[in-house]
Chains A and B, each alone.
Chain A
């Protein structure tokens, strides 16, 4: 048995043993704290800047002077695909039941304050706080991230192997796995991976021949290292998130296996027919995220998509990438629902980090379509959120639009509400000290 297979099966068995005592006669799962809704959350910062017009608005090319409308996100949203003026590769949807039918669609969320730059909006989405940083500043945020809240306030506290952040690109995104906050920080951070770099020719050149030491050899190496470390006063800091020795070995093996499979074209990827020629950066990231989910079954996973930011100068490309990112999300959900541990015990939340402007810029693409920036205009502050999960936990096939609010006193949802919502799902919301989060739990999405 390959070590990877062993790790996966051992993880599945262990998770099953943990979960089994909490399966009630009704069949619904409860976590050990009794306060959890499910034991796994996948949060997709469905990013790059998406206008509600082309997503939940299903306006397709209506704002380009053509009457054609339709749904280009056939996995996530209900609605018929455009049938004329097709400017994107139409991929048949993975899901027969749309995600919107398997959960709650909040058609309008607001990004109330701060600039609508990618990094700033990612930071808002992942900290639950409106903060204001530069667009491309590669620094850890000042306020704690979702990962730190989760690891610090879950009882018993969770190791880093349970929290993952996988981004499509590098830039400032690696810095979002933990904050600079003195009460939190890297000790409570998430594992981070960037698939594009990890499965590059460079990585193959410098890592793929790495030794997989036998456990007996590792035992001796760790003994020697232990002796050496005991004779030195300091511990290396600033080395990012830290895993246990055992988990480090598992992660290394995971990386080597994934490099071998993706490099050899044998790893399953999120394209029709697992065709590598159709891979985009977003779909590679989703494929790598699935490898993480499949192998480690983490409780909290955050991933993003960003390719459709080509909308700055290529509206056609934006439509195509949006369609493909939707395909990737459908593919991922399908995988989750066929996993022995994650199935029926996972809630997935998708939300763009911000929208795009109402008015186009001056650039036309090859089809003569106008391009859109995101300059903090009012339209760029509109996004949506889709919360999908098991029946009996998440309200199924429910939609809320801005006209539905205030809803039982609750205000129109905001981007900062996702973090407290996840905290509520994973049962640690009440443990977060007052003052850190000003958003609300999106209770309307849950039974």
Chain B
């Protein structure tokens, strides 16, 4: 009888435990920023055969330097301003060098660049050319940065944005 009594109490306990409502907490994040790891799009630069138009150039160079989209009005203003110049390269160089004086442009410090030169070079190629550097390119920049203390990350970024390959996709 005593055993039966304990068994009833045990079954009731199991039932109470077993019937406990399962509570699921759902957390909704509304400010999550998904980032992409830089990914190589081109195996070689020979795959680039279309020249960017002016609007594409200014849109892309802004995104590459600020890591955000160029405001529409700024893109429109730049397109209009470029008409005032016969030599578009002069105009582009002025625009990019103007960005270089802006504190919001995202450029590694020289210490960061020299702290991991190979990473900086690979990151720069991915950022501006969307491809990995070749062995020769890696060697050239490694040699340049390690042997010339006056070379800055800004100089390298600026050179990439005004280079011929950067004009193509």
Q: What residues of chain A have their CB less than 8 Å away from a CB belonging to chain B?
A: 160, 165, 170, 174, 177, 189-194, 196-198, 200, 202-203, 205-211, 213, 216-217, 220-221, 224-225, 227-229, 231-243, 248, 251-252, 255-256
Interface of B, secondary structure class, is helix
**Option from A191, A193, A248 in Cβ contact (under 8 Å) with B93:** A248
**How big is the B interface, by class?**
35 or more
Task: Please determine whether A224 and B87 come into contact, CB atoms closer than 8 angstroms.
Answer: no
Given contacts A209-B102, A255-B94, contact A224 B156 (CB under 8 A): yes
Given contacts A197-B83, A211-B97, contact A239 B155 (CB under 8 A): no
| Per-residue A-contact encoding for B94-118, CB less than 8 Å = 1, 0 else | 1101101110000000000000000
**Option from B46, B49, B101, B148 in Cβ contact (under 8 Å) with A211:** B101
Chain A residue at smallest Cβ distance from B159:
A224
| Per-residue A-contact encoding for B77-89, CB less than 8 Å = 1, 0 else | 1101101111111
Indicate if B140 sits at the interface (CB-CB under 8 A).
Answer: yes
Most A CB contacts (10 A, CB to CB) among B48, B85, B93, B163 go to B85
Residues of A within 8 A of B155 (CB): 217, 220-221, 224
Task: Please determine whether B85 and A209 come into contact, CB atoms closer than 8 angstroms.
Answer: no
Task: Please determine whether B165 and A202 come into contact, CB atoms closer than 8 angstroms.
Answer: no
Residues of A within 8 A of B164 (CB): 228-229, 232, 234-236
Q: Would you give the shortest CB distance from A304 to chain B, in whole angstroms?
A: 14
Task: Please determine whether B83 and A193 come into contact, CB atoms closer than 8 angstroms.
Answer: no
Given contacts A207-B98, A220-B150, contact A241 B86 (CB under 8 A): yes
Most A CB contacts (10 A, CB to CB) among B85, B90, B160, B165 go to B90
Indicate if B8 sits at the interface (CB-CB under 8 A).
Answer: no
Residues of B within 8 A of A231 (CB): 45, 134, 136-137, 165
Residues of B within 8 A of A251 (CB): 87, 90
Report the separation of the CA atoms of residues A128 and B151 in the bound assembly, to the nearest whole angstrom.
Answer: 51
Indicate if B144 sits at the interface (CB-CB under 8 A).
Answer: yes
Given contacts A193-B86, A237-B51, contact A210 B94 (CB under 8 A): yes
Task: Please determine whether A197 and B77 come into contact, CB atoms closer than 8 angstroms.
Answer: no
Task: Please determine whether B83 and A248 come into contact, CB atoms closer than 8 angstroms.
Answer: no
Residues of A within 8 A of B162 (CB): 225
Residues of B within 8 A of A217 (CB): 150, 155
Q: Can you list 9 A-B contacts (CB < 8 A)?
A: A191-B86, A202-B77, A207-B94, A207-B95, A208-B98, A217-B155, A228-B160, A229-B164, A248-B90
